[in-house]
Amino acid sequence: MKSVKKEVTLIADKTWLISDYYLDNYYLAVGDKKAALIDTGCGIGNVLDEVREITDLPVEVLLTHGHLDHCGGMFSLESCYMHPNDESIAREHYYKPDMIKWYIETRVPVRFPGEGHAEALKAVVSAEEHPFFEYKPIKDGDTWDLGGRILEAIHTPGHSAGSVCYLDKKTRILFSGDTVNKGIIIINKPEGTEKEVAIYRDSIAKIWARKNEFDKLAIGHDGGLLYKGIVKDYLDLANGILDGSIVGRYEEVGIRKGVVARLGAAELWYRCDA
């Protein structure tokens, strides 16, 4: 791997996808007065330097949730917005060089295969353990005026208790983090996951109720934009799991191990062990 520069793609007017070497996605939405950085990657390289190659405007950092691969780049930024229900997860994940290197080692073979890729990316990870980042709490319905462009927070627990989507009515994009991807994970628990599936179903129903306000989703992994029809697939899938009409089966696929069910474009790992 000769270069460690990340791939940056314009996906809509003044809206960029920054691919974290295909391990995860984060996005920059630019208005007339401010910009919003939605997620920060897993901690490979200086995210602020990447942003400054696109815009010099003040930047608001909005996290979709507190997992390592979405908050890891906060060490190069001053503060962010995050739902407080994810603070405990974020504190567990941030900023631990060994955990970031483990993430690279386990995800690169699946998402960015190639000789030397994992070692090259691990070499970029800072050895310093950065203190926990400052954040301002988000609540459902909060908005950020970027100047001619407003983002709205929609609290969507399920993948994590503090998961948040951001709706941009101007571009008709919903930045969905890990609430809606090509594959969704709900971690297994000894007592089962029916309660978590119900919580996730309610969040998906909440998004689908606003389907007339967006056309596409900017997702947290596996490429950039998806058409909104996948949200309905997840809603029907979650309802089917809960009423027993859909029964998943145990599978081991790549980095995933657990019970998975599929419907249309949706893939829900709802008793996932890895």
What CATH fold (topology level) applies to the domain 7-115+127-181+213-227? Metallo-beta-lactamase; Chain A (3.60.15)
In b/e form, how buried is each residue of 132-164, taking b as 16+ CB within 10 angstroms?
ebebeebeeebebebeebebbbbbbbbbbbbbb
8 Å CB contact between 69 and 20:
yes
The pLDDT, as a whole number, for residue 212 is: 98
Segments in the chain below pLDDT 50? none
Residue 139 token pair: 């609540």
Tell how many helices (H) and how many strands (E) occur in the chain.
Answer: 7, 17
The pLDDT, as a whole number, for residue 223 is: 82
Q: Which one-letter amino acid corresponds to residue 120?
A: A
CB neighbourhood size of 212 (10 A): 8
29 vs 38: CA distance, rounded Å: 8
- Name residues whose C-beta falls within 8 Å of residue 107's C-beta, 6 or more positions apart in sequence: 23, 69, 255
Beta strand segments in the chain, E? 7-12, 15-19, 25-30, 35-38, 59-62, 79-82, 134-137, 143-145, 150-155, 164-168, 173-177, 184-187, 216-219, 225-227, 249-253, 256-263, 266-272
For residue 262, the cross-strand partners are 267
pLDDT digits (tens, 9 = 90+) for 67-80: 999 999 999 999 99
Sheet holding 256-263, edge to edge: 184-187, 266-272, 256-263, 249-253
8 Å CB contact between 169 and 213:
yes
Sheet holding 143-145, edge to edge: 143-145, 150-155, 164-168, 173-177, 216-219, 225-227
Whole-model pTM: value is 0.96
The pLDDT, as a whole number, for residue 264 is: 97
Spell out the domain ranges in the chain.
7-115+127-181+213-227
The pLDDT, as a whole number, for residue 2 is: 55
55 vs 183: CA distance, rounded Å: 32
The pLDDT, as a whole number, for residue 255 is: 86
156 vs 174: CA distance, rounded Å: 12
71 vs 129: CA distance, rounded Å: 14
